[in-house]
Amino acid sequence: MFFRIFRLLPAPGRVITVLAVFGMASVAFAQETPPAPQPPLSVGSLLDAMAERAKTLASQSFQPPGRNLPKVLADMSYDQYRRINFRPEAALWRNESPFEIQFFYPGFLYREPVTIRTVTLDGANTPMPFDPSLFIYHGDPVEIPPESISSLGFAGLRVHYPINNQTYKDEFLVFQGASYFRLVGPGQVYGLSARGLAINTAESLGEEFPAFREFWLVKPTADASRLWLIALLDSPSLTGAYSFELAPGAPTTMTVEARLFARSDIQKLGIAPLTSMFFYGENRTRFIDDFRPEVHDSDGLLMQTGAGEWIWRPLTNSPELRVTSMQDKNPLGFGLLQRDRNFENYLDTEAKYELRPSLWIEPEGEWGEGRLELVEIPTDSETNDNVVSYWVPASPVKAGSEWRFRYRMTTFNDRLPHHDKAHVVRTRIGWAALPGQANPPPRSKRQFVVDFAGGALENLPAALQLNPDLQINNGGAEDIIVTRLPDGHTWRVSFKLNPNTDAPVDMRLFLALREQRLSEVWNYVWSPTAVR
């Protein structure tokens, strides 16, 4: 008697093993036609399976995840939590692949369990149960009630790969907390975060935070240079299935495919959200008692419109909540950038802000009409993420509707290879009063200095006359001057802004040579009340 085992994956998260018994003594049974071999799975079929599960969930009422953490875990302080580390030697796929995965302990702010399974393309689906012995406790071990261990799950995961040298596997991707994740490339340190989805951000009814509830980790080969993760997203208003294709390198890229299923109408759906921190920068207009010249994870929002125009919006720490939008159709890309890579502009040897990554979102396929929205929240601390950007489709999200989005995320430093226009290198602002002026103007009258470099500006002679194209929606400008700086590569546009009212002023500026546009568009929103 011998056995044949077929592994099928009829539903996400569940493996059915069919045991067929063949006996030589049973002639009739032996003569039966054996079942056809099952075709190998693919990443696409795994995403299909997860999408079916998400669609089924969306037809049901939302069930909040359990938060039955033992008190000793729920009451952890930050210092207690950070002293618990995963054992590197216990990493998933250690010595089996260039990729390794480690997991996070539940507790502190991370109280919702995440189900994790490993899958192979031949159909194996293996759960990863929480195990306290996988962790190192720097200090007193955490005493978890034995009866609670089986109900606990991990709080997230992190992926390691040799991105900086051939011998050490660096951590380059983290999923932890709701639908947040962070990604870095070679020579970078963690800064801004991405999210799976944003719902009703900056709306009066309150923001909803979807969360990844389950991950399927597709086992890579021994020489793999790419890794796939499949995730299930759930929230009161919506469910979703996600595929993440990771390609660490220079640059590191992640291709994201999302299939979304609405449980209810959604007022604002934010696609490909990025979250960052901007405390203060070169454009600050108030005194901050700090030895560091600048403190931020990102310093601007860059967009390439569907028509190919490049727009740069320097970030601000406005005294009031500010939500601004850029209307467009089929955008070519957008992202939050840390353009300033000069240590001298931060002087922070611990935070290393000059090494924070920039992230670029490149839609695949047509996203239609909509708007790129930027939310800037006032903050008095660098510990708070206060900047969010995302794409909002123009079409309404109705209960029962289905949506698909696919895009590529790319990490980089200050410049994208295909951005060939001159770019803004700094924005500075001051009171437009002259020294010794008998009757100085109101403080709402501002001197703006915008410096451009790169692209066609690199080798232009100083005597050449460049044209500043400046548009202002509230007020006017005077003393508009274009000057080449002593470095021979940077060109400065300076002007005095005089607003008509206390309403915010929206400005657009670019440099041109006759009818040839040489630079990206500098776009800035100034509030005359910011200095009163």
Q: Which residue has the tokens 């539940």?
A: 106
The reply to whether 286 falls in a domain is yes
What pLDDT sits at residue 27?
Answer: 32
Comparing 5-19, 61-75, 304-318, 420-434, the range with the smallest average pLDDT is: 5-19
Do 145 and 219 sit in the same domain of this protein?
yes
Q: pLDDT class for 40, splitting at 50, 70, 90?
A: low
Three-state SS at 495: strand
CA-based angle 208:214:217, to the nearest 5?
Answer: 135
> 212-234 in b/e burial notation, b at 16+ Cβ within 10 A?
bbbbbbbbbeeebebbbbbbbbb
Do 468 and 355 sit in the same domain of this protein?
no
Single out the residue in 392, 412, 432 at which a domain terminates: 412
Is 240 in contact with 259 (CB distance < 8 Å)? yes
The reply to whether 333 falls in a domain is yes
Identify which of 483, 489, 486, 449 has the alpha carbon closest to the alpha carbon of residue 463: 483
Q: What are phi and psi of 21, to 5 degrees?
A: -110, 125
User: Domain with 303 in it: what CATH number?
Assistant: 2.70.98.10
Distance CA 481, CA 190 (A): 39
- First-to-final CA distance of the chain: 89
Identify which of 242, 295, 268, 273 has the alpha carbon closest to the alpha carbon of residue 359: 273
Identify which of 356, 104, 43 has the alpha carbon closest to the alpha carbon of residue 226: 43
Do 310 and 375 sit in the same domain of this protein?
yes
Do 83 and 71 sit in the same domain of this protein?
yes
Report the predicted TM-score, pTM, of the whole model to 2 decimal places. Answer: 0.90
**Residue 161: half-sphere exposure toward Cβ, Cα within 13 Å:** 25
Q: What is the pLDDT of residues 51-76, one digit of tens each?
A: 999 999 999 999 998 777 898 899 99
Question: CB 278: neighbour CB atoms within 10 A?
Answer: 26
Single out the residue in 412, 443, 466 at which a domain terminates: 412
The reply to whether 418 falls in a domain is no
The reply to whether 63 falls in a domain is yes
Q: Of 527 and 22, which is predicted with more confidence?
A: 527
Q: Which residue has the tokens 């056809």?
A: 36
> 348-382 in b/e burial notation, b at 16+ Cβ within 10 A?
beebebbbbbbbbbbbeeebeebbbbbbbbebeeb
Q: Which secondary-structure segment (H or E) carries 58?
A: helix 43-58
User: Domain with 479 in it: what CATH number?
Assistant: 2.60.40.10
Q: pLDDT class for 158, splitting at 50, 70, 90?
A: very high
Please tell me the total count of domains within the chain.
Answer: 3
Q: pLDDT class for 38, splitting at 50, 70, 90?
A: low
Checking if the pLDDT of 25 tops 70, the result is no
Q: Which residue has the tokens 């002026």?
A: 437
Do 404 and 489 sit in the same domain of this protein?
no
Find the DSSP H helices in 254-329. none
Q: Which secondary-structure segment (H or E) carries 209?
A: none
Cis link prior to 251 (omega < 30° from 0)?
yes
- Give the residue-averaged pLDDT of 397-419: 97
The reply to whether 384 falls in a domain is yes
Is 153 in contact with 214 (CB distance < 8 Å)? no
Three-state SS at 513: strand
Residue 209 CB contacts under 8 Å (≥ 6 apart), including other chains: 178, 179, 199, 235
Do 296 and 258 sit in the same domain of this protein?
yes
What pLDDT sits at residue 1?
Answer: 32
Identify which of 233, 220, 336, 338 has the alpha carbon closest to the alpha carbon of residue 275: 336
The reply to whether 407 falls in a domain is yes
Q: What is the residue range of 183's domain? A: 46-412
**Residue 283: half-sphere exposure toward Cβ, Cα within 13 Å:** 26
- Summary mean pLDDT of the chain: 90
Is 12 in contact with 49 (CB distance < 8 Å)? yes
Q: What is the pLDDT of residues 136-156, one digit of tens each?
A: 999 888 888 887 888 899 999
Do 428 and 407 sit in the same domain of this protein?
no
Q: What is the pLDDT of residues 103-120, one digit of tens each?
A: 999 999 999 989 999 999
Is 419 in contact with 458 (CB distance < 8 Å)? no
C-alpha 514 chain-centroid distance: 39
The reply to whether 417 falls in a domain is no
Checking if the pLDDT of 24 tops 70, the result is no
Do 9 and 108 sit in the same domain of this protein?
no
Do 90 and 170 sit in the same domain of this protein?
yes
Identify which of 239, 245, 313 has the alpha carbon closest to the alpha carbon of residue 276: 313
Q: What is the pLDDT of residues 285-302, one digit of tens each?
A: 888 999 999 999 999 999
Do 181 and 67 sit in the same domain of this protein?
yes
Report the DSSP pairing between strands 295-296 and 278-280. antiparallel
Checking if the pLDDT of 10 tops 70, the result is no
What pLDDT sits at residue 141?
Answer: 80
The reply to whether 28 falls in a domain is yes
Distance CA 283, CA 531 (A): 12
> 297-312 in b/e burial notation, b at 16+ Cβ within 10 A?
bbbbbbbbbeeeebbb
What pLDDT sits at residue 506?
Answer: 96
Distance CA 86, CA 228 (A): 22
Do 160 and 266 sit in the same domain of this protein?
yes
**C-alpha distances in angstroms, 402 versus 51, 63, 258, 261, 265?**
11, 20, 10, 5, 12
Is the Cα torsion angle 455, 456, 457, 458 positive or negative in sign? positive
Do 431 and 378 sit in the same domain of this protein?
no
What's the token pair of residue 157?
Answer: 């995961």
Distance CA 196, CA 271 (A): 8
**C-alpha distances in angstroms, 103 versus 77, 106, 185, 405?**
19, 10, 20, 28
Q: What are phi and psi of 429, to 5 degrees?
A: -135, 140
